[in-house]
């Protein structure tokens, strides 16, 4: 399962629009995507409530893991990009 650690780019953390964008992308990815703090329990990235409950702030490191599938690597790249981007800039 491909995974990557990424720093959260959004000033508000994973909340509001950045969280919605992430959840939308994860729920339409076609493969299971999970996120969590490195070394801690990961949650379903398609669940807005789970993502919010992580309480992720700007600059926090987040590990993204994508289940094995045909397009796992491209899904990982696009999810990582969403998390790394500052959507309010």
Partner 1 sequence: MFKGIGVSPGVVVGPIRKVLAEKASGPVPADIDQVLKALESVATDLDKSAESIELEVAKEVLGAQAMMARDPSVIEVLEGAITEGVAFDVRPIVEEAFGGFKEQLLALGGYFAERVSDIDEIQSRLINKLAGIESAGLTLTEPTVVVAEDLTPADTAALNLKFALALLCSRGGATSHTAIVARGLGIPAIVGCEGVMQLVDGAVVLVDGRNGDVIVDPLQDEIATRTEKELKIKARADSITGPGRLSDGTSIQLLGNAGTIDDVRAAVKVGAEGIGLFRTELLFLDSHIEPTVGEQVKLYSEVFQLMAGKKVVIRTLDAGSDKPVPYINAIHEENPALGVRGWRLTRTSNDVINRQLEALAEAAAGKDVKLWVMAPMVNTPDEARDFAGRVRKLGMLMPGVMIETPAAALHADHVLAEVEFGSFGTNDLTQYVMASDRMDSRLSDMTTAWHPAVLRAISIASDSAAKISKPVGVCGEAAANSLLAAVLVGLGVSSLSMAPSALAEVRGFLASIDLDTCERAAQAALSARSASEAESRAREILEG
Q: Distance between CA atoms of 85 and 67, rounded to whole angstroms?
A: 23
**Which residues are marked as active site?**
15
Q: Distance between CA atoms of 28 and 48, rounded to whole angstroms?
A: 13
Q: How far is the CB of 87 from partner 1 (least distance, A)?
A: 9
Segment lying near partner 1 (by CB under 8 A), choices 5-13, 33-41, 65-73, 77-85:
5-13
Check binding of 48 to partner 1 (CB under 8 A). yes
- Among 27, 22, 2, 24, smallest CA distance to 12 is for 22
Check binding of 4 to partner 1 (CB under 8 A). no
Check binding of 85 to partner 1 (CB under 8 A). no
């Amino acid at each position: 399962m491909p995974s990557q650690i990424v720093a959260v780019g959004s000033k508000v953390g994973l909340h509001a629009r950045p969280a919605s964008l992430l959840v939308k992308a994860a729920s339409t990815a076609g493969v299971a995507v999970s996120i969590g703090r490195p070394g801690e329990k990961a949650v379903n990235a398609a669940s807005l409530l789970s993502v919010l409950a992580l309480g992720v702030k700007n600059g926090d490191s987040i590990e993204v893991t994508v289940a094995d599938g045909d397009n796992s690597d491209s899904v990982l790249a696009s999810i990582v990009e969403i998390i790394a981007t500052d959507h309010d800039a």
